[in-house]
Amino acid sequence: MRTPTEQAFAALYDERPEALQRLPPEFVMPAYGGRSIASIPATMASVLEADLPGMPPLAPDISESWQGARKVVFVLLDGVGYLRFRRFLEENPDSSWHRILERGSMTPITSVFPSTTTNALTTIWTGRPPAFHGVLGYHLYLKQFGVVINTITFSPWFEYGKRNVMEEYGLVPEGFVQTHPIGVVLGAQGVTVDVLTYHGFIGSCLSRMHTRGAHRIRGYIALSDFAVALRQMTEELPHDRRSLLMAYWAPVDTLSHAYGPSSEVWDAEMRLMGRALEEEFLSKLSGKVRQDTLLVIVADHGHVDILEKQTIRVQEHPALYGALSMPTAWESRATTLYVKPGREAEVREYLHHVSGGAIEVISRENALESGLLGGPLPPEYEDRIGNLVALSRRGWAIEWARPRHPLIGRHGGLDEQEMIVPLISVRL
C-alpha cells in the first residue's frame, strides 16, 4: 500500500492535458490546481488571515498542519529537485535534514513552467502563474525594446556580466509585472513582510520588482550569516502582528550549474545547509519565538545533467539558424523558437533528426491551450512566445550561441528531475 507521500508523488504524473499526451512519460506537467509552488503564496496568505487573489491554495492534505500559525518563515532553496534530495537523504542517513523532517513533513509538488528561477520567484512573489505575470524564462523577448533580455540581470542577452542595462532604456522594474507583489498586498492587510537575500542581489531590477512593499530587507554574505540572520530576523518578528519572513538561498543552484546535480559538491552543500539550519537556526530559537511559527522550505526547480555532445547551438547549425527570424528565448531546455513563415515543419524535422527524437516540439497553440503557463497570455505578452516550443529530454539542450562558461547542470524543461520539488513544513 502506498504511503501518502508516494500517492502524492504518483499523482503528479497524472496532470497531463489531452494535447500533450504524446510527450515522454518522464515529463511532468505543472500542477496549478493546488500541488505546485504557485499555490504556496495564497496558502501562506490564508494562514496569516489575509487574501492573495490569483491561484487556489495548496491541497488540504498538504497544508492542514499550517493552520493556526501567526508567523511564517519561508525559505526558498534554489535548484533542489525532489528526486535528487530524496536520493541525498537515502545516502546521508546522519544528515541534519532527517532531524528537521522528523519535526515536520515533506511532500512533492511541481514547479511552474518553464521550471526556472525568474519564473518561479515571480510566481512566489506575486501568487500568479507565468502567463499572468509575463516572466516566461531566463531569456525573454521584449517587443517594446526590440531585444531578448536576461531576466536575472535585466540586460540584453549578449551583454554578459552587465546588470540593469534595460533601465537606461526606460524599463521600470517596479512596474514590469502588472500586479502588486505580496509585500504590497499583504502589507495593506496588516501583515509584516521581511526579506533575507544575498547582499549582492539587493537593489537589482529583479529584487526591486519582487520586494516592493517589504518592511525591511537584509542581506547576507555566506551560509554562516544566512543562518544567523534567519534566526535573528525570526526572533525580531513582531509578536503582536501577523508576519512573513521571505528568505532565499542560491548556492545549490549555482553549484549545480557549475558541477552538475550529480556531483559530490551538491551533497556537500546540502549537508552544510541542513547543519546550519539545525544548529544556528532551529536549536537556538526560544520557546516563545517558536510559538505560533511555521517554517516552510521549498525549492523552485531541480536540475538535470547536460552532455556537451547533446547541446545544440543554433549558430553552429546553418539549416536551423537560417529558418529562425531572431534569437531563441526562454530556456535551453524549454526553448521558444521564432520561425520564419512556412518553415515550422522544417524546424521540427531538423530538431527531431539531429537529436535522434530527444527533442519534442509543440506548437505555440498547444503550449498555450494545454495550460503549461497557467492560463492564456494577455495581449501585451503575446510576443513573448514564438511559433514553436522545443522541449528537451534529459541530457539535451538548445542554445543560440556558445556561452563563455558552458553549464553542466540545467533546468527549465519538463523532466521529472527539474519539475518536481520538495515542500517541507515544520511547526516550530
Q: What is the pLDDT of residues 183-192, one digit of tens each?
A: 999 999 999 9
**Per-residue pLDDT, 213:** 96
Average pLDDT of the residues of the chain = 96
Do residue 210 and residue 354 come from a single domain? no
pLDDT greater than 80 at residue 350: yes
State mean pLDDT over 335-364: 97
**Per-residue pLDDT, 1:** 65
Do residue 204 and residue 72 come from a single domain? yes
Interior angle at CA 363, CA 316 and CA 336, nearest 5: 40
Do residue 79 and residue 147 come from a single domain? yes
State mean pLDDT over 26-52: 97
Do residue 10 and residue 99 come from a single domain? yes
Torsion angle of alpha carbons 192, 198, 200, 202, nearest 10°? -10
Picking from 375, 413, 414, 382, the residue whose alpha carbon sits closest to that of residue 131 is: 375
Do residue 273 and residue 324 come from a single domain? no
Q: What is the pLDDT of residues 12-22, one digit of tens each?
A: 998 788 888 89
* DSSP per residue, 121-171: HHHHHHS--HHHH----SEEEETTTTEEEETTTTEETTSTT--SGGGGGT-
Picking from 424, 411, 392, 416, the residue whose alpha carbon sits closest to that of residue 83 is: 416
Q: What is the pLDDT of residues 80-98, one digit of tens each?
A: 999 999 999 999 999 999 9
As given in the structure block, the three cell numbers for residue 196 are 533575507
Q: What is the pLDDT of residues 276-330, one digit of tens each?
A: 999 999 999 998 899 999 999 999 999 999 999 999 999 999 999 999 999 999 9
Q: How confident is the model at residue 122 (pLDDT cuts 50, 70, 90)?
A: very high
Do residue 348 and residue 320 come from a single domain? yes
Q: How confident is the model at residue 102 (pLDDT cuts 50, 70, 90)?
A: very high
Domain count, the chain: 2
Total-model pTM: 0.97
* CATH code for the domain in which residue 340 is found: 3.30.1360.180
pLDDT greater than 80 at residue 133: yes
pLDDT greater than 90 at residue 351: yes
Residue 314 CB partners (closer than 8 Å, separation 6+): 320, 321, 324, 327, 328, 398, 399, 400, 401
**Per-residue pLDDT, 16:** 86
Do residue 16 and residue 137 come from a single domain? yes
**Per-residue pLDDT, 171:** 96
Do residue 246 and residue 392 come from a single domain? no
Do residue 324 and residue 271 come from a single domain? no
Q: What is the pLDDT of residues 236-278, one digit of tens each?
A: 998 889 999 999 999 999 999 999 999 999 999 999 999 999 9
pLDDT greater than 90 at residue 403: no
* CATH code for the domain in which residue 141 is found: 3.40.720.10
Do residue 180 and residue 315 come from a single domain? no
- Report how far residue 211's alpha carbon sits from residue 182's, in angstroms, rounded to the nearest whole number: 8
**Per-residue pLDDT, 240:** 86
Do residue 75 and residue 213 come from a single domain? yes
**Per-residue pLDDT, 2:** 76
Do residue 99 and residue 146 come from a single domain? yes
Range of the domain at 394: 308-410
Residue 234 CB partners (closer than 8 Å, separation 6+): 71, 73, 245, 281, 285, 289, 293
